[in-house]
Amino acid sequence: MKIPFKYIFRSLFTRRLTTAITIVGVALVVFVFVAVLMMANGITQTLVATGSDDNVLIARKAANGEISSIITNDTYGVIAALPQVARDADGKSLITGDLVVIINLEKIGTEGGMSNVTVRGVSTPVFQLRPQTKIVEGRMFSEGAREVIVGSSIARRFEGAQVGNTIRFGGDNWLIVGMFDTGGNGFNSEMWGDVRQLQSAFSREGAYSTVTFHLGSPDQLDAVKAEFERDNRLQEFEVKTEQQFFADLSEFMSIFLSALGIFITSFFSVGAMIGAMITMYAAVANRTVEIGTLRALGFRRRSVLAAFLIESLIISLTGAAIGLFLASFLGFLQVSTLNFGSFSELEFSFALSAEIISAAVVFSLFMGFVGGFLPSIRAARLNIVNALRSA
Which pLDDT score is estimated for 358?
A: 93
Q: Determine the average pLDDT of the residues in 203-215.
A: 89
Query: Which 3 state secondary structure label does DSSP give 190?
Result: strand
Which pLDDT score is estimated for 221?
A: 87
User: Are the C-beta atoms of 179 and 152 separated by less than 8 Å?
Assistant: yes
Q: Which pTM value belongs to this model? A: 0.76
Cα–Cα distance for residue pair 204/195, rounded to 1 Å:
10
The more confident residue out of 283 and 346 is 346
374 Cα distance to chain centroid: 37
Closest CA to 375 of 317, 320, 318, 313: 313
Q: Determine the average pLDDT of the residues in 333-344.
A: 70
Task: Say yes or no to pLDDT of 326 above 90.
Answer: yes
The more confident residue out of 192 and 292 is 192
Which pLDDT score is estimated for 139?
A: 93
Q: Determine the average pLDDT of the residues in 309-338.
A: 84
Query: Which 3 state secondary structure label does DSSP give 294?
Result: helix
Exposure string over 202-222, b if 16+ CB within 10 A, otherwise e? bebeebbbbbbbbbbeeebbe
Instruction: Read off the pLDDT band of 382 (50, 70, 90).
Output: low
Instruction: Give the best-scoring range by mean pLDDT among 193-202, 246-255, 265-274.
Output: 193-202
- H or E stretch covering 45: helix 16-50
Which residue type is seen at 74? Answer: D
Cα–Cα distance for residue pair 207/188, rounded to 1 Å:
24
User: Are the C-beta atoms of 161 and 61 separated by less than 8 Å?
Assistant: no
Cα–Cα distance for residue pair 71/36, rounded to 1 Å:
37
Task: Say yes or no to pLDDT of 387 above 50.
Answer: no
Query: Which 3 state secondary structure label does DSSP give 252?
Result: helix
Report the range of poorest mean pLDDT among 3-12, 142-151, 263-272, 324-333: 3-12
Q: What is the mean pLDDT of the chain?
A: 81
Cα–Cα distance for residue pair 63/58, rounded to 1 Å:
11
Task: Say yes or no to pLDDT of 149 above 90.
Answer: yes
Q: Determine the average pLDDT of the residues in 193-206.
A: 90
The more confident residue out of 301 and 83 is 83
Which pLDDT score is estimated for 110?
A: 59
Task: Say yes or no to pLDDT of 29 above 80.
Answer: yes
Closest CA to 375 of 310, 318, 322: 310
Q: What is the length of the chain? A: 391
